[in-house]
A and B are shown apart, each in its own frame.
Chain A
Amino acid sequence: MKKLIIGAAILGSSMSAGAVAPGGPGCGWGNLLFEGSSGLPAHLLATIVNGTSGNATFGMTSGTNGCDTSGTLTYSGQSLLAMNGVLEEVAQDMAVGHGEALTALTVAMEIEPADRAHFNTTMHDHFGQIFPREDVSAAEVMQRINTVMAGDARLSRYVS
């Protein structure tokens, strides 16, 4: 339950619409690596009233991004990866070996601070395995991260 709440706390709202993936339609799990960012606001207009269109979200959990939470994947890490643009940041951080997106992922996956550097190194070393193709999806990347973790003595305990 605790894990679920932490995961819920990082749910976003502007998931790319229309992607169908594990987790259900409308969920960002189907986002591909290097997804474009469409729908930039018209700059001047958005600047003037700082406008948002549509309903104001209020950080509520249920159904915010339409993701079905019953999958076997780590809920919290998955939710972060499902957010627009995060997959790309994680890919960059894994290639480099460290970075804010990777840190966010470790925190979301409840990896203890003592194991985070090891997680980063392990992800860096297995970059090719985790990102085998440029059209890999968020759900697939999460699965591959779990696979790599399951095969690592220190990280396997975080994979249920």
Chain B
Amino acid sequence: MMPRLLGAGCAAVVAGLLALVPVPGLATAPDLAALAATPRWQSLMHVNPGATLRGIGSSYVDDADFFLSDQGKRSAVAELRASVAALRAPGSAARCRFPARYRFLAEALGWQEAAPLAHCEDYLQWREQMPTGQLVLVFPAAYLNSPSSMFGHTLLRLDAKPNPDSVWLSKAINFGAQAGAADNSFFYIWRGLAGGYPGQFSVTAYAEKIRDYAFVENRDMWEYALNLDADEMDWVVRHLWELRGINFDYYFFDENCSYRLLELVKVGRPTAPLSQELRFAELPVNTVRALDDAGLVADRRYRPSKAREVAARAARLDPAARALAVALRDDPSVAATPAFENRPSEQRRRIAELAYRALRLEHREGARNPDVAADSLALLRIVQRNAAPPSAPVSAPPAPESGHDTQMASMGAGRQDGRDFLSLGYRLTYHDLFDPLPGFLPGAAIEGLNINLRFDEVDGASLETLDLINIRSLAPRDAFTQPISWFVHTGLEQAPVADSERALGGFIQGGPGASWRVGDLLPYVFGVARLESVSGVDPAMALGAGAEAGIVYQANVVQWGVHARWLKFTPHFSRLRTGAVVNVPVSRDNALRGECGRETWDSDAVNSCSVSFRHFFD
């Protein structure tokens, strides 16, 4: 594969092809230390440049099979020296394991052979099957009713060429933790957080990923074509082979799939500014932004999920046609009624297709059901015999990377029962129901580590709230889907106690619910169970149950909401909390928020109002 040596006199002319030509100084007296410090070798070794806190200067790879030198993990020079020794000889077996390293050394040291990897049958056969026309970053967005999937996932795709005829035939490159079947759920989570799992790269058919994400999990997919050229792609694919079966410890927060994929892209273009800065809590959306900022993103495509298809197609029909689609879904023989037959062919097609898609959506999980299968085919036959021009594609919502940044700091002032206070807040991650909506899934909220401090003249500084986790999912119900909304919320907050006083207490609360969509309004109801423990209050634990109802309005220019929650506790007291929030974005990463709340219990009440400025950043 290596081009033959060009005449020495051509070196100046082909300066752009420097990589193909031996550098005389290096060829005679190679400065291996300088060579090992080059960005390409550092990338091939996965040396931590200081982007994460563990093992700065060492390789991220946690697998002896990756290193030819005992010191390889800690010393890129030692590994380079060992690689030179192992890869220099023609026919060396090590070349077949490290084709990217071979290319690097051959170019740097002027090794010349006509077919240096001809003996590497496995590699060449694998390589033949790898499409190398285009590299694409794929981001499956959050799925409905699962706000935690905002932390989601990224993968890479290899296409045969730019704008491939069919991406179903492309390859997916995935990095994920390898969990044993015997692992139980607790260890799965713990080891995921603490780094106990080996992570590995895998290569599968992209069609499977479309099925997993867009069809089964109902996640919209965003596909970002990268502008790596053929030569850069060659580096990536060669190096991918070097990572076959190689373990990296998987850390949920920083050394996760998104980070590993950035490293792989960097092997193709080592000079791209991708992982210089410290990256804590690498989120998929930030991976997209990093690639975009580095000038690597050439194109963006949107692939709607099956659920999104159904919603969009339903929205295009009039209410009577929608009702007909529901009836048809439940009983395909409705197609023989005049209500259906009297409509024009195109409408019959649209209604039947919606009915079919809704039926498949409803039964996408679980074992095959013969009755559903029979109805499905009956509906497809109706689709087939009613002609219509092609449907318009589902229009794309704002892209995830157009959304606000992931961390947030706030500053505000307010008044509670006649006393003024100042407030300071910080939230590690990520989005609540009243934050600016573009780029986020409507009705989905997830907050992790959200701290609010108050300062007033009487009490000084005090902790107002500390949310460890606050997840809310308002998944609207309609004729086609009836999801269950839910929320879970745990942390510390000032809870009301006797004599109009408040005291810090820990709590966990949550419950199932239902919500609906009326234009941009989302009315909802929840059942609520709450366990709390407030300092200085007897008994130490109080268990409450009750209900919450509210309305959330989410639009691009303003978000607002009102809510009321009533709870009855076992030691015979009850509590009613009502409130209103309004949020006005002033730019992508800045917003003004006003909030008022009233909390009543027994015969006491606390009233407060505040305004704050919220700034998002990374």
Residues of A participating in the B interface, judged by any CB pair closer than 8 Å: 5, 8-14, 32-38, 40, 42-45, 47-61, 80, 83-86, 88, 91-92, 94-98, 100-101, 103-104, 106-108, 113, 124, 127-128, 131, 133-135
* Cβ–Cβ < 8 Å partners of A106 in chain B: 166
* Cβ–Cβ < 8 Å partners of A42 in chain B: 185
Q: Mark B166-205, 1 if CB is under 8 A from A, else 0.
A: 1111010011111111000100110111000100111111
Contact A47 B152 (CB under 8 A): yes
30 contacts between A and B (CB under 8 A): A10-B169, A12-B205, A14-B204, A34-B368, A36-B365, A47-B146, A47-B149, A47-B151, A48-B192, A48-B252, A49-B192, A50-B177, A50-B257, A51-B176, A51-B179, A51-B188, A52-B178, A56-B178, A57-B204, A58-B203, A59-B129, A61-B125, A61-B129, A84-B211, A88-B360, A92-B356, A94-B384, A98-B390, A127-B380, A135-B373
The reply on B215 being an interface residue by CB < 8 A is yes
* Cβ–Cβ < 8 Å partners of A135 in chain B: 370, 373
Among A61, A98, A108, which residue has its beta carbon within 8 angstroms of that of B169? A108
Please name 13 further chain A to chain B contacts, defined as beta carbons within 8 Å, in addition to the given A37-B216, A49-B192, sorted by A numbering.
A5-B128, A11-B205, A12-B208, A33-B373, A34-B368, A53-B181, A83-B207, A88-B360, A100-B166, A103-B166, A104-B207, A107-B165, A131-B380
CA–CA, A58 to B237, complex, Å? 12
CA–CA, A36 to B367, complex, Å? 5
Among B217, B368, B377, which residue has its beta carbon within 8 angstroms of that of A131? B377
Among B152, B153, B377, which residue has its beta carbon within 8 angstroms of that of A34? B377
On whether A56 and B380 interact (CB within 8 A), knowing A34-B368, A40-B216, A49-B177, the answer reads no
Contact A134 B373 (CB under 8 A): yes
The reply on B434 being an interface residue by CB < 8 A is no
Could you say which of A51, A61, A113 has the most chain B C-beta atoms within 10 Å of its C-beta?
A: A51
Among A13, A44, A103, A133, which residue has its beta carbon within 8 angstroms of that of B208? A13
The reply on B532 being an interface residue by CB < 8 A is no
Which residue from chain A places its CB closest to the CB of B192 in the assembled complex? A49
CA–CA, A47 to B176, complex, Å? 10
Which residue from chain A places its CB closest to the CB of B382 in the assembled complex? A95
Could you say which of B205, B211, B384 has the most chain A C-beta atoms within 10 Å of its C-beta?
A: B205
Contact A14 B208 (CB under 8 A): yes
* Cβ–Cβ < 8 Å partners of A10 in chain B: 168-169, 205, 207
* Cβ–Cβ < 8 Å partners of B366 in chain A: 36, 38
CA–CA, A35 to B215, complex, Å? 13
* Cβ–Cβ < 8 Å partners of A127 in chain B: 380-381, 384
Contact A85 B215 (CB under 8 A): yes
Contact B381 A9 (CB under 8 A): no
* Cβ–Cβ < 8 Å partners of A8 in chain B: 129
Contact A104 B204 (CB under 8 A): no
On whether A34 and B376 interact (CB within 8 A), knowing A49-B192, A104-B169, the answer reads yes
Contact B165 A113 (CB under 8 A): yes
CB within 8 Å of A: which of B576-601? none
Which residue from chain A places its CB closest to the CB of B177 in the assembled complex? A49
CB within 8 Å of A: which of B363-418? 363-370, 372-374, 376-377, 380-381, 383-384, 390
* Cβ–Cβ < 8 Å partners of B353 in chain A: 96
Q: Mark B271-304, 1 if CB is under 8 A from A, else 0.
A: 0000000000000000000000000000000000
Which residue from chain B places its CB closest to the CB of A32 in the assembled complex? B368
On whether A49 and B176 interact (CB within 8 A), knowing A59-B126, A59-B171, A128-B381, the answer reads yes
Nearest CB of chain A from residue B564's CB, rounded to whole Å = 29
CA–CA, A130 to B360, complex, Å? 20
The reply on B256 being an interface residue by CB < 8 A is yes
The reply on B250 being an interface residue by CB < 8 A is yes
CA–CA, A142 to B173, complex, Å? 29
The reply on B148 being an interface residue by CB < 8 A is yes
On whether A49 and B245 interact (CB within 8 A), knowing A36-B369, A57-B202, A96-B383, the answer reads no
Nearest CB of chain B from residue A65's CB, rounded to whole Å = 10
Q: List the 7 shortest-distance A-B pairs measured between CB atoms, nearest first.
A: A59-B203, A104-B168, A49-B192, A56-B202, A49-B177, A34-B373, A12-B205
* Cβ–Cβ < 8 Å partners of B192 in chain A: 45, 48-49, 51
Nearest CB of chain B from residue A66's CB, rounded to whole Å = 15
Nearest CB of chain B from residue A131's CB, rounded to whole Å = 6
On whether A43 and B208 interact (CB within 8 A), knowing A37-B216, A37-B364, A108-B169, the answer reads no
Nearest CB of chain A from residue B129's CB, rounded to whole Å = 5
The reply on B131 being an interface residue by CB < 8 A is yes
Contact B180 A48 (CB under 8 A): no
Nearest CB of chain A from residue B443's CB, rounded to whole Å = 17
CA–CA, A151 to B521, complex, Å? 56
CA–CA, A26 to B374, complex, Å? 26
CA–CA, A9 to B127, complex, Å? 10
* Cβ–Cβ < 8 Å partners of A88 in chain B: 360
* Cβ–Cβ < 8 Å partners of B256 in chain A: 50
CA–CA, A56 to B1, complex, Å? 29
Contact A86 B174 (CB under 8 A): no
CA–CA, A53 to B183, complex, Å? 10
CA–CA, A53 to B184, complex, Å? 12
Which residue from chain B places its CB closest to the CB of A34 in the assembled complex? B373
The reply on B477 being an interface residue by CB < 8 A is no
CA–CA, A48 to B197, complex, Å? 12
* Cβ–Cβ < 8 Å partners of A12 in chain B: 204-205, 207-208
Could you say which of B131, B207, B376 has the most chain A C-beta atoms within 10 Å of its C-beta?
A: B207
Nearest CB of chain B from residue A152's CB, rounded to whole Å = 18
Nearest CB of chain B from residue A39's CB, rounded to whole Å = 9
CA–CA, A11 to B170, complex, Å? 10
Contact A45 B176 (CB under 8 A): no
Among A32, A47, A100, which residue has its beta carbon within 8 angstroms of that of B148? A47
Q: Mark B145-171, 1 if CB is under 8 A from A, else 0.
A: 010110111000000000001111101
Nearest CB of chain B from residue A36's CB, rounded to whole Å = 4
Q: Mark B523-550, 1 if CB is under 8 A from A, else 0.
A: 0000000000000000000000000000
* Cβ–Cβ < 8 Å partners of A92 in chain B: 356, 380, 383
* Cβ–Cβ < 8 Å partners of B424 in chain A: none
Which residue from chain B places its CB closest to the CB of A100 in the assembled complex? B168
* Cβ–Cβ < 8 Å partners of A50 in chain B: 153, 174-177, 256-257
The reply on B244 being an interface residue by CB < 8 A is yes
Contact A56 B146 (CB under 8 A): no
Which residue from chain B places its CB closest to the CB of A37 in the assembled complex? B216
* Cβ–Cβ < 8 Å partners of B181 in chain A: 53-54
* Cβ–Cβ < 8 Å partners of B377 in chain A: 33-34, 91, 131, 133-134
The reply on B130 being an interface residue by CB < 8 A is yes
* Cβ–Cβ < 8 Å partners of A107 in chain B: 165-166, 169
Contact A13 B380 (CB under 8 A): no
Which residue from chain A places its CB closest to the CB of B172 in the assembled complex? A59
Q: Mark B205-232, 1 if CB is under 8 A from A, else 0.
A: 1011001000111000000000000000
CA–CA, A148 to B560, complex, Å? 59
Nearest CB of chain A from residue B374's CB, rounded to whole Å = 5
Nearest CB of chain B from residue A88's CB, rounded to whole Å = 7
